[in-house]
A and B are shown apart, each in its own frame.
Chain A
Amino acid sequence: MKTYWVAYQIALQETLQRRSTLIMDRLGGFAIVVSLYSFWTALIGDKATFLGYTRGEMLTYVLALNVLRSFVFTGRGWQLVGEISSGKISSYLIRPLHYYGYALALDMAQKTVHVAAAVLEVGVLAALVGGELFLPRDPATWLLFGAAVALSSLIFFFLEFMISSLAFWTSESGGPLFCFELFLQFAAGAFFPLDVLPAGLRRLLEMTPFPYMVYFPVRVFLEKVPAAEALRLIGMEALWLAAVFTAAMTVWRRGVRSYAAEGG
């Protein structure tokens, strides 16, 4: 465990060292949040609610997106593809550590910095627009939200890990990974609440793990899901995580067996 803790600390220092890259990353993300917030504000107009969301709830949804994007959608997929394709993965495979544990430690370091920056941005934007940010009244909601977000982050990590592992068999796994990440952002509700979609399409998406990554945690935070229902959905999330973890590990083990250290 100490090995991963050291890896986490080194990665944290590296992320903080590249300040210009970090600031630019955050600026870009901030532009997207401003854009989405403005669009939703224009949609609400003079109405009291839109799709069941009040102005404050919609503002909270958009700002929560900024934090969740930073916590859920930062994986190590592209690095894994690069390391397998270049043969660099060999040096990790012979070390006395589990690669996915090491990757998770590095990912956590990235998340730590980006979530801190995202929370700061949310505070700035909330102060700028002077909107009434929705904060949960029930303390239990914070716990449910935390559990939902932690599970969704792990689901994303292992899903991305599984798709990136295709690089063991083909040097072209970047394409499927790119496709997956774009589809995921829409299907997870990372651009807009899924309530806007027709009921049939929404039900179809609910049969996948994607809505559990953003849409469902934000609805928990907004207290739009009763506690009992939230617990049931968190149980579903845990099941999805178990399925995705098993699949990712199976693909990883088979990939390592077929790995030929190209370019190593």
Chain B
Amino acid sequence: MSGLLRKYWRIWLRTASMAMQAQLTYRLGSFGFLLGKMIRLLFFFAFMAAVFNHVETVAGYNLVETALFFMTFNLVDMTAQILFRGVYGARRTVTEGDFDFYLVQPCSPLFRMTCSSVDFLDIITIIPVIIMTGVVFARLPPLGWQNYAAYALLMLNGVGLIYAIHILVAALAVRTQELESAIWIYRDVMFMGKFPVDVYAPAVRWALTVGVPIAVMTTFPAKALLGILSPAWIVYALALTAVALPLSWLFWKDSVARYTSSSS
């Protein structure tokens, strides 16, 4: 088992190193993308702060709590982007025939498809996010270690759930050689996780908790930290990921089994 883990760690390091070298080659382009990501982050944060110059609370949450939801969203979302970036090029990998090579390599094609492309710009962008999250933590009232443990657990759970969605998108690319927009729909819907789920109407809130569980990925960890998430919801979140991951993996296996090579 440890040998297998070591092997995949080495593969990840090698592919990540290649991705970093490619990004360093394109300095102006990379700088532009990095600056854009920073602008998006700072503008949203400035917007939140500006809004609270006019109101005391939003959906019952004060500035620090709202900032906690926003930073948690960014942490979960960016971690997933760093780790599962490969899915963004899944359709191209399939249509250009690279997926055929993945299948004959002594490595899981799912791992190659989802995890072997690392965006180092996101690694740089996540640093200020971590610092800003630390500032938010410092402004929260004293909380027990159980709150922090539940926060960390649900963050990991959220990343797991996002991985299940990425597997689904990769499987759709293999199965249909189309649906390149699927990952961008996910990105747009994830936008809803920037705000606590309580701002939405009950029907939308229900859809975001049960249908497309953005709330489980982004709102639940922050609520657990604040001590306002019941144990039943924590169990639900963990159970959802425990079911979603194997199901998406089965869908992936089935899609690969039907694959007949789409390249020329």
Contacts and interface: CB of A to CB of B under 8 A. Distances in A.
In the complex, which range does the number of interface residues on chain B fall in? 35 or more
Contact of A28 (B29, B39, B44, B187): B187
A79 interface: no
What 6 pairs between A and B have smallest CB-CB spacing? A175-B32, A28-B188, A172-B29, A175-B29, A24-B181, A179-B36
Contacts of B188: 27-29, 31-32
Nearest to A35: B192
Interface of B: 26-37, 39-40, 43-44, 46-47, 50-51, 53-55, 58-59, 178-182, 184-185, 187-189, 191-192, 194-195, 198-201, 204
Given A24-B185, A182-B40, A198-B50, A42 B58 contact: yes
A196 interface: yes
Q: How large is the interface on A (under 10, 10 to 19, 20 to 34, 35 or more residues)?
A: 35 or more
Nearest to A186: B43
Contacts of A20: 178-179, 181
Contact of A24 (B58, B59, B184, B192): B184
A196 B188 CA distance: 23
B50 A35 contact: no
Interface of A: 20-21, 24-25, 27-29, 31-32, 34-35, 38-39, 41-43, 45, 50-51, 129, 170-179, 181-183, 186, 191-192, 196-198
18 contacts: A24-B181, A31-B188, A34-B200, A34-B204, A35-B200, A38-B200, A42-B198, A51-B54, A171-B26, A172-B26, A176-B28, A177-B32, A178-B33, A179-B39, A186-B39, A191-B43, A192-B47, A196-B51
B54 A196 contact: yes
Contacts of A181: 36
Q: Dominant SS at the A interface?
A: helix
A171 B28 CA distance: 9
A32 B33 contact: no
Q: Looking at A42, A51, A186, which has the most chain B CB atoms within 10 Å of its CB? A: A42
Contacts of A39: 58, 195, 199
Contacts of B58: 39, 42-43
Given A28-B185, A31-B191, A175 B54 contact: no
A179 B35 contact: yes
A43 B32 contact: no
A197 B184 CA distance: 29
Nearest to B181: A24
Nearest to A182: B36
A51 B47 CA distance: 14
Nearest to A196: B50
Nearest to B42: A186
B55 to A, nearest CB: 6
Contacts of A41: 199
B47 A179 contact: no
A38 B32 contact: no
B199 A42 contact: yes
A186 B58 CA distance: 21
A42 B59 contact: yes
B204 A38 contact: yes
A176 B181 contact: no
Given A28-B187, A172-B27, A182 B195 contact: no
Contacts of A51: 54
A179 B121 CA distance: 13
Contacts of B26: 171-172, 175
A179 B195 contact: no
B47 A196 contact: yes
B187 A197 contact: no
A96 B243 CA distance: 59
B36 A178 contact: yes
